[in-house]
Structures are given as structure tokens and as C-alpha cells.
Amino acid sequence: MLAGFVASLAYKPGWRFKLAGPGNRFLCVYAETPDSQRPARTRLTQHQFEFPDPLPDERDLCRWVRDRLLEVERHECCEFLAFAGRRPFFPNHQDEGSPYADVERWD
């Protein structure tokens, strides 16, 4: 079920989806976006989310994917949003904590 579901997903140009991880229980979202530190350059970013257990029906699974994409978009918003040359909401990356957590870096 999941393989066919993930194969049917489509979003923005440069974004793609893959089923991966242990037991193929993870949705990988690959987003090709401008680099927030060097906007003339693009980068491919991976976001990985474990599917809920038990798996919901297809309608609820679509909502779940939408909610994960909104988390990714929120992360990207915080990467790029600047005030007077500062990025006070610049999100966590890799080992800093959840990349989807609220972060404020005013100082």
C-alpha cells in the first residue's frame, strides 16, 4: 500500500518523495530549493518522517502528508525570513534539535 501511495505523490517542481528507512516506514521528502545562505545556489534537502502506526486510511494519510509538507515549508520560511539583515527564526539543523521546532535567535 505505502509504495503505491508514495509513488502517486506530487508537489512542487524540484520536490520528490521516496519510501525508505528501516522497514520502509519512512516518507522521505526531497526538496530542491535555493540555499538560504547562498541564494544563487540551489541545494537538495531531505526531510524524513516516520509513517504513523497503525497506518490510517488513504484520506487521513493524505492529510498526514500535507501536515508534514507544512512542517517542511515552515522550516524553509524560517530559513529565509529576515529582519534588518538578521534571521531571528533560523531553524535547527542536524544535531541542534528538531528542524521543525520553534526557534528564536534575536541575540
* Whole-structure pTM value: 0.92
With residue 89 as reference, give the H or E element that holds it: none
Alpha helices for the chain (secondary structure H): 2-7, 58-80
Taking the chain (107 residues) in runs of 10, the rounded mean pLDDT of each run is 95 97 95 92 95 94 98 95 95 92 92
Q: Residue 106 carries which side chain, given as an amino acid letter?
A: W
Domain boundaries, the chain: 2-96
For residue range 77-102, list pLDDT tens digits in order.
999 999 999 999 999 998 899 999 99
The phi, psi pair for 80, rounded to 5°, reads -100, -25
Half-sphere exposure of 95 (CA within 13 A, CB side): 0
